[in-house]
A and B are shown apart, each in its own frame.
Chain A
């Protein structure tokens, strides 16, 4: 018997050339949370964030909505960004909001890659998608920076 199931979804759209808008959802038997955040592509800075708490365990949890706003101004490219999110959004607010932001942050470069390869294929359907991905990665060395916590 399945006793615990958790689903996490990260979705990305590009409202303009310099912004990626993430929608992150976490659902399990206990918690249900959602975050929408805009990230500036050049520097990875979170410029806007909104959170929704749909299922939680105690009446104090919604106070984390205010703490979530501290994410605005943080950069997903800054060294130690994951620890900072865990510390300032998770421990002082809600660990599940932090988890969603972390998952969205890990997807930043992949979302950019998906956009680039998609646009290449739209312009030239005969393009090898793997080669298009390789070309884009080679042209964007920032995506190959080792991920440190």
Chain B
């Protein structure tokens, strides 16, 4: 059966020589085309540059003012981000393509820092891995209950004995 609709969304994080992170996000489907480019500065992960474009939209009445993205300059990738970004970019509707794109860019920044941690844990003994997980949960308590692996009573949580 042939497809009637296809959406392709890609996001990338690039570590620049000046220490900043360049995040690119692009979505293309049958009717929608949009792009976001953010620059994020470690260590506090402040968004220091933000640009967006939306050349095509299926519902012109709902097309987002791309200049709204300028409002997120100065916001930090961290606690409360979802509420802040949606409040700044999608106060009336709760969300729109660009507010969600910004959140996905920020998630990609988190993943950029997560990849080497996970890579470092590959091949190490279970007890060391549990110790690292225990430390991670203590510094990021919001992880508790965030998915099936960190629900109270999961095999991981029982082994951690927090």
A94 to B148 alpha-carbon distance, docked (Å): 6
Interface size counted on chain A using CB atoms at 8 A: 49
What residues of B have a CB within 8 angstroms of the CB of A144 in the complex? 59, 61-62
B115 touches A29 (CB 8 A): yes
Interface of B is mostly: mixed
B145-157 CB contact bits vs A (8 Å, 1 = yes)?
Answer: 1111101001110
Q: Which residues of chain B are near A1, meaning CB under 8 Å?
A: 14-15
Q: Is the CB of A10 within 8 A of B7?
A: yes
Contact B112 A6 (CB under 8 A): no
Partner pick for A114 among B4, B8, B147, CB 8 A cutoff: B4
Question: Given contacts A58-B156, A111-B4, are A63 and B148 in contact (CB under 8 A)?
Answer: yes
Decide: B112 and A3 in contact? CB cutoff 8 A.
yes
Nearest B residue (CB) for A26: B9
Our pick among B7, B9, B13, B118 for the contact of A3 (Cβ within 8 Å) is B13
Please tell me if A4 contacts chain B, counting CB pairs below 8 Å: yes
- What are 7 A-B contacts with C-beta separation under 8 Å? A1-B14, A4-B108, A10-B9, A110-B58, A114-B5, A133-B31, A147-B96
- Beyond A58-B156, A91-B147: 6 further Cβ-contacts under 8 Å? A7-B10, A13-B1, A58-B149, A60-B148, A63-B149, A133-B31
